[in-house]
Structure 1
Amino acid sequence: MGHGGNVIDELMTDHREVEDLFARIEALPSGDRNQRKMYADQVTMELVRHSVAEEAYLYPAVREHIAGGDAMADRELEDHAKAERIMKDLEGCEADDPEFDRLMGDLMTEIRAHVADEEQNLFPMLRAACSPETLDDLGDKVRTAKKTAPTRPHPSAPDKPPANKLLAPGMGLVDRMRDALTGRGKPED
C-alpha cells in the first residue's frame, strides 16, 4: 500500500499487487467460497484506495502537464466509474453465487485493460512531461492519500478535486472501521 518511489513506480507496484490477487482468485476452484470472497474483498480494498489516490493527484497532473490531458483524464475516470459499479455489485455477492464469477471476470477485464492503457500510454507521457521531482512529489501525495482513502466502492462519491479530497478521508475512516469490525478482507479463523 505504500511502496516508495515516484508516482509511476508506486502505481505500477499497486497494479502488480492487484494482478497477483486476480491470479489467486483464478487459481481457486469456484466452490472455494471463503478464500475467493476474501481475495475479492482485498482486490476491492486495494483498487478503491488506488483509484481514490489517482483521482486526487494523478489525473489532475495529467490535465496540467500532458497535451490533451483533459480528455485522457476523463477517459480514465470513466474506466474507474465502470470498475466501481462492478465492485459495488460484487460487494453484495457471495463467492458461490453464479453472479460472482461473472462480475469478477468483468472486473478483471476492465482493470487489466485500464492498467495496460495507463502503463503503455499515460505513464510514458507523464514521465516525459514531468520532472523527476514532480513525479516524486506526486508519489508522496498518492501514498498519503491511500492511507486515508475509502476501502469500499462509493459510486456516487465525487471523483474530482476538491470535493473528492475533502470527502475521501471521512469515508475512508468509516470504511476502515467497518472492515475492522467485520474482518473484511481477512482470512476466516
Structure 2
Amino acid sequence: MAGHGGDVVKELETDHREVEELFAQILKATGGHRKALLDEVTIELVRHSVAEEAHLYPAVRKHVPGGDAMADREVEDHARVERLLKEIEDRDADDAALAGLATTLVEEVTSHIRDEEQNLFPALRAACSKADLDQLGDSVRLSKSTAPTRPHPGAPSSPAARKLLAPGVGLIDRVRDYVTDRGAA
C-alpha cells in the first residue's frame, strides 16, 4: 500500500479496498500461502493504523462534533486488531488455530472499515475544508512510508508517542522483514 494520492478519505478508502482484496485471498488460502498473505495484510494494517492514530483521529477529535468518542472507539478497535495480529504473527503456518484467527481478523477489520466509512469519514468531510483533507492525506501517506510493519501491542498509543517512535520502530521492522523475506510474496 504505497501512497495513492488524494485527500485523506480517498487514501484510506483505497487502503480499505486493498485489505478487503487480501482478505478474500486469505479466506481461500491454506498453509504457507495463507501465512504469507497474513504477513502481507499485517504489514498493511499496521502501517494504516499508525497513520490513522497519528493524523486521522487527532483531526477527528479537533474538528468533528463528538469526535473524541468516535476516535476513542476507533483506537479501541485498533488495539483489539493489533493484539490479534500479534497472535497471528506468533503462529506457524500449520497451526490449526490460524484459520479461525484469520476469520476473526477479517470480521473485526471489516466491521471497523464499515464504521469508518459510514460514520467517521462523512463526519470528517463535513467538518473540514478540502485543503485540510488534502493536507491530512499527505500526512497519512508520509506516515505510512515510515511506519512499523509488525504489531507492537505494548507500544504507547498516544498520537505524539506514535509520531516520535514510529519511524525508528518502522526502520527496525523493515530491516527484519528484509532479512526474513517477510512480505515479499
TM-score (norm 1): 0.95
Secondary structure of the residue aligned to 2:26 is helix
* Alpha-carbon contact 2:27-2:103 (below 8 Å) kept: no
Per-residue CA shift, 1:61-97, capped at 9, x if unaligned? 0000001111111110000000000000000112321
Matching residue of 2:75: 77
Matches within 5 A, 1:84-99: 84-99=82-97
Matching residue of 1:8: 9
Paired residues in the alignment total 184
* Alpha-carbon contact 2:27-2:102 (below 8 Å) kept: no
Matching residue of 2:169: 171
C-alpha separation between the residues in 2 aligned to 1:35 and 1:83? Answer: 21
In the alignment, structure 2 segments of 5+ residues that lack a partner are none
C-alpha separation between the residues in 2 aligned to 1:146 and 1:163? Answer: 15
C-alpha separation between the residues in 2 aligned to 1:27 and 1:164? Answer: 34
Per-residue CA shift, 1:75-132, capped at 9, x if unaligned? 1000000000000000011232111011111111110000000000000000010000
C-alpha separation between the residues in 1 aligned to 2:89 and 2:26? Answer: 15
Matches within 5 A, 1:1-189: 1-28=2-29, 32-187=30-185
* Alpha-carbon contact 1:45-1:151 (below 8 Å) kept: yes
C-alpha deviation, 1:161, in angstroms: 2.2
C-alpha separation between the residues in 2 aligned to 1:112 and 1:95? Answer: 23
* Alpha-carbon contact 1:95-1:101 (below 8 Å) kept: no
Off by >6 Å, runs of 4+ in structure 1: none
* Alpha-carbon contact 1:52-1:159 (below 8 Å) kept: no
C-alpha deviation, 1:158, in angstroms: 1.5
C-alpha deviation, 1:26, in angstroms: 1.4
Letter aligned with residue 152 of structure 1:
R
RMSD: 0.8
C-alpha separation between the residues in 2 aligned to 1:4 and 1:79? Answer: 25
C-alpha deviation, 1:27, in angstroms: 2.0
- Percent same amino acid at aligned positions? 62
